[in-house]
Structure 1
Amino acid sequence: MAYVDKNETFQQAIRSHPLLSLAALLTIVFLICRFILESFKVDSLAQRHVLITGCDSGFGNLLARQLDSRGIPVIAGCFTEKGAAGLSALTSSRLKTLQLNVTDSASIKKAVEFVTAEVGQRGLWGLVNNAGISSPIGPIDWLKLEDFTKILDVNLLGVIDVTLHFLPLLKKAKGRVVNIASIFGRLALAGGGYCPSKYGVEAFSDCLRKDMQPFGIKVSIIEPGFFQTAVTSSKIHEGDLKRLWDRLPQDVKDSYGTTFLQEYSDAQRLSLRLLCSSDLSKVTNCMEHGLTACYPRSRYGAGWDAKLLWIPLSYLPSFMADFVFNVLLPLPKSH
C-alpha cells in the first residue's frame, strides 16, 4: 500500500479549493484586527461616572466593586438600604450609593437629580441596566397575568424607563449603555415573564443602538449563560413552583400527574447544578469592556454554556432546541 502524506493531502485540498483558503485567511485577519481594536481603552476614566442598577448582589454588586478598584467613579443603585450599606463597606469613598426602584418613576427621577449633581456638565459616561428578577418560572398554564407583569415591570419596562430618564445626561458625555439581557433573550427555555422580558431587552437595545449612534452613544448587550446568582437560586424557584402548583385547579394538576412537580423541581435543580458557574467575573469583565473599550462589541456572550451550547443552538432549527429542552425538563403525564 502506498504511503499517503496527510500534510501533502491537506495542502492539495486547500489548493484545489481556493475559496476555503481565502475564507480562512479573512477569518484570521478579522480576529487579529478585532483583538487589536478591542485592546484600545478610553482615556480619563477617573473622570467618567458610571451608574449601575441592581447593585445589592450578583453581577451589579461585583461590577461596582470592580470598577471602583479601577478608580472609576461609580454610582450604585441599590433596591434596599441593607444592600447599599453592605456595598459601601466593601468599597472606597469614591463610590456613591442611592436607593433606586426601577419600577417607580418617582424613584428614578430622584436618581436623575442625584446623578446630575454628581456628574455636573460632563454628563453621565455609563449606564448599566442590571437590575432583574426571574421568578416565577414554570409551565404557562400555571401562571396568571400578574406573574408576567411582575417580571416585565423590572426586567423590561424598568430598563426602558431608566434609560429614557438618563439619555440627556448620556448624550452630554457621548457615553455608553450596557444592558444585561440573557442567553434566553435568544432561546425560550421555560414559561413565565423572564424569557419575554429578555427578548424585549434585546429588541429595545438594538433599536437604541441604531437611534443613538448619531449622538455618539454606544450600546452593548450582555448575554450571560447560567451563573450562581439570585436569578438562578433553586431555593427561590422551587418555592415559587410549589406556590403555583398549590393554587392550580384540580383538573390542571391531574393533566400533569401527581409526580410532575417533584420531577420538574429535581430536573431544574440538576440543570442549575450542572450549568451554573460561580465565576461572575466572566460577565462583569464583559460589562467593563463595554464601558471602557474604545470599540466595544454590540453583543457579549458570557459563560461556556452560552458560547458552546445556547448561542449555537439558537441558530439551529427550532425542533432541535425543543429536543434539548425536553431532555432537560420532564413532560406532563397526559402528553
Structure 2
Amino acid sequence: MFAKKNLIAVAALATLAVSAQAQSSVTLYGNLDVAVAHTKNENFVDGSVTGVESSILTESFFGLKGQEDLGGGLKAIFKLEAPIAVDTGAANSNLFSKNAYVGLAGDFGTVKLGNQESLFKTAQAAYNPFGTSVLSPVQTLTGVVGTVGTVSTLDLTSSWNNTIGYESSNFGGLTFAVQHSARENSTGAYNGGATAASVNYSAGALGLSAVYGDVRSTTNAPAAVAERNRTWLLGASYDFGVVKAFAQYGQDKLESIDDKVKVWQIGAIVPVTAAGGVHASYGQAKLDDTKAKQFSLAYHHSLSKRTSAYAGLAVIDADADENQTTVAVGVRHAF
C-alpha cells in the first residue's frame, strides 16, 4: 500500500514537471562562423592581410530565448542575443547588442520592448543569398560609399536601442510590423527618434518585402548632425526549385546634403547536391559621385544537420581604384 502511494506521488510530480515545462521554456542557441581569409587591397592603407576571421558567410552570435504561457492564448517572451567575434572571442560592441527584449505574444500579434534588430536588417538578411555577413554586397557596400550625418538606416547591420516593436499575426501570408526607437534625452545634442514600418508577403515560393523608415538616431548617443534620414528598402525572392533568386533595391535620402544613398543587389542560391549549393550575388551602392560594386561567390556544403564548410570569394571595385579581393575557407556550427 505504501509503495503504491509512493508511485502515485512520483507520477503526480512527474506530471507537474512536464506541465511546467510545457508552460515555460528557455533555449540556448547560436551560430559560430570562422574562416581563414586572405584579403588583397589595392590603394588601401592596410595592404594585404591573411588571418582568421569571423562571420564571413553567416553572422556569429549566441543567444537565449524563452517563453511562458500566461493562459488565454497569451505568452510572455524574451530574447537575448550577442554577436561575437569567433577569431578573438570578443563581444562585438555591447554584450547583447543584437537583441535584448521582453514582450507579449497572442492572437493580436507580438509586442516587444528593448534593443531590437531593425526592420531594415531583418529584411536585407531575408532577401539576399548571404544574409548578414561579410559576403553580402548590400551590407558591405553601404559602408564603402559612406554616409554624412547621424546615421544611415542603410547601415543594414544595426539594431535599434530603446525600441517599441510590434509584429502582426499572419493573414494568409501577409504580415506587417512597426518599430519606434524612443528619444530618451531632451537636450539639443540628442536628435534621437526613429520610426520604421514594414509589409511582408510570403506564399509558397514567393517572398516580398517593403520597409520605410524616418530616422534621426537609433541610440541615445549624441548625434553630430541634426539630420533626418528617410529610407526605404524593397526585397523579393522566388524559389524555382533549381535556383532560388533574390533582388533588393533601397534608398536613403540624407537631409543635410540633399542627396541619396542608392543600393541594389541581385543574387541566387543554386543547389548542386542534396548537401551543397552555390551562392552568388552582385550589388552596387552610390552616393553622389562615389560608387562601389561587389561580386560575391561561395560554395556551402552541409557536413551534418548543424555543421557545414564553405569556400567564398568577394571582389569590391570602388572609385579611385580602391579595390579589394577576399578569399576565405571556413566552417560554421549552429547549435
- Which TM-score band applies after superposition, normalised by the shorter structure? under 0.3
Q: Which of the pair is proportionally richer in strand?
A: 2
TM-score by length of 2: 0.22
Q: Which of the pair is proportionally richer in helix?
A: 1
TM-score by length of 1: 0.22
